Structure 1
């Protein structure tokens, strides 16, 4: 039967082979099936990030591969040339995502290979008009947060110390990932807020997020700046000011 949905043909470093359909607009890829939509198992050398190595996301322009600040990187092979994904890259028919899956005894890399195909995808009839996307902008020199939408720049004031600490940490992770949003786990956010203190819970992090959303979001029922990654953590949509 012909594939109606876009899909990856996945080939693993030890001969694994399967088809992974993109049945929703955001698909996570990582080591463990418990945490990811597409699991790259087995991974005995622990080279693939266990919680969201990268994501595949769809918008008006098409499907993107977005590295999630992974330790060993995400690579894209196109027309015989392989480059590391710096933040994100728009996928084209036949592109092959490479994720390090094994190092041989000689130290040679062997990759998980994921070839993208969308033969039934809708073709644009003409030039499309895009709507400017709203996003947050954090100014590190002034230590101020702004919401940008349709040319309007509004400062988000009255941030509590914990809220500011969370924003600063999540924006730092984004900047290290080419200004692309990184999913921060509950464990990472707990350390960012309380350091080595123990006995803090996910509920406390959720409480801080709830307070932030009341100040950031235009529609709290459909958050667009502080996005929930169900069961794993949150990610912040920012662009950093560089001076």
Structure 2
């Protein structure tokens, strides 16, 4: 059957094989199916991140793979060349995402290989354009929205909002300045520490208040993105900057 949508042809370390059409513009990949659009299982050695090992993201210029700060990293195979995904990498036809799936008794690594194909995709006519992003000044504790040559400071950020922004920006910086999905559990600990009476609802309220300050349209967020059912991502650098 011909695939009309872009798809992944997936092979596992123990002979698994299946295909997945990419029906959404953001697709999560990880160990457990309850947390991810594509689940790579079984994973008895727990080598794959259970909540979002990496994501596939589509924009005007194609499909990108973004590592989500995983312990065992995400790789891309281009022919005979294998590269570590440093933050976010553009995928081309026939290239493969590689994720460590198993170590043999002798320590040999075996991988999941997810080969990308989009034969009917629209090709971009030029290089990626610069996009809007957030910038956080740790020394002065100031937050800015950057759009092209414009740099606008965001005022009236409350202490709890600063804690959330600082934590998410730090996670991004450790991931090559590419947005990392931060779970509700992480954000609750970052903002309130060991105060156990706070809930996901408190995080949702804090995010909504921040969006009203950051976003041109809080109902269509560009900077504080929802990862449905899991948490949020903060866009704090130009996406695809390394590929431009």
- TM-score under structure 2 length normalisation: 0.94
SS of 1:190's equivalent in the other structure is helix
| 1:21 match | 21
Q: Can you list the C-alpha shifts for 1:24-73, whole angstroms capped at 9, x where unaligned? A: 11111011111111110111111111111100011111110000111110
Q: 1:181 is matched with which residue: 159, 179, 182? A: 179
Separation of aligned partners in 2, 1:145 and 1:90: 28
Distance 2:71 2:123 in 1: 36
Q: 1:52 maps to what in 2?
A: 52
Q: Secondary structure at the match of 2:182?
A: strand
Alignment partner, residue 151 of structure 1:
149
Question: How far apart are 1:97 and its partner, in Å?
Answer: 0.7
How many pairs align?
Answer: 238
Please name the residue that 1:211 is paired with. 209
CA distance in 1, matches of 2:97, 2:51: 18
Q: How many angstroms apart in 1 are the aligned matches of 2:105 and 2:127? A: 52
TM-score by length of 1: 0.94
In 1, the alpha carbon distance for the partners of 2:71 and 2:198 equals: 26
Deviation at 1:199, TM superposition (A): 2.3
Check conservation: 2:99, 2:112, Cα contact below 8 A. Answer: yes
Q: Post-superposition shift, 1:122?
A: 2.0
- Name the CA distance, whole Å, in 1 between partners of 2:150 and 2:5: 38
Alignment partner of 1:197 out of 195, 198, 202: 195
2:131 alignment partner, one of 112, 133, 156: 133
User: How far off is 1:130 after superposition?
Assistant: 5.6
User: Gapped runs of 5+ residues in structure 2?
Assistant: 239-244
- The structure-2 alpha-carbon separation of the partners of 1:140 and 1:233, relative to structure 1 and needing over 3 Å to count, comes to same
1:83 Cα offset (Å): 1.1
Counting only pairs closer than 5 Å after superposition, residues 80-91 of structure 1 correspond to structure 2 as: 80-91=80-91
CA-based RMSD: 1.4
1:105-124 pair list within 5 angstroms: 105-124=105-124
Once residues 114 and 228 of structure 1 are traced to their aligned partners in structure 2, the CA distance between those partners, rounded to angstroms, is 25
Structure 1 CA distance, aligned partners of 2:56 and 2:191?
29
- Does the 8 A contact of 1:66 with 1:87 survive in 2? yes
> Partners of 1:67 and 1:222 in 2: how far apart?
24
CA–CA distance in 1 between the matches of 2:128 and 2:106?
49
Q: Which 4+ runs in 1 deviate beyond 4 A?
A: none
1:235 is matched with 233
Deviation (angstroms), 1:128: 3.5
What is the rounded CA distance, in whole Å, between the counterparts of 1:41 and 1:74 in structure 2? 16
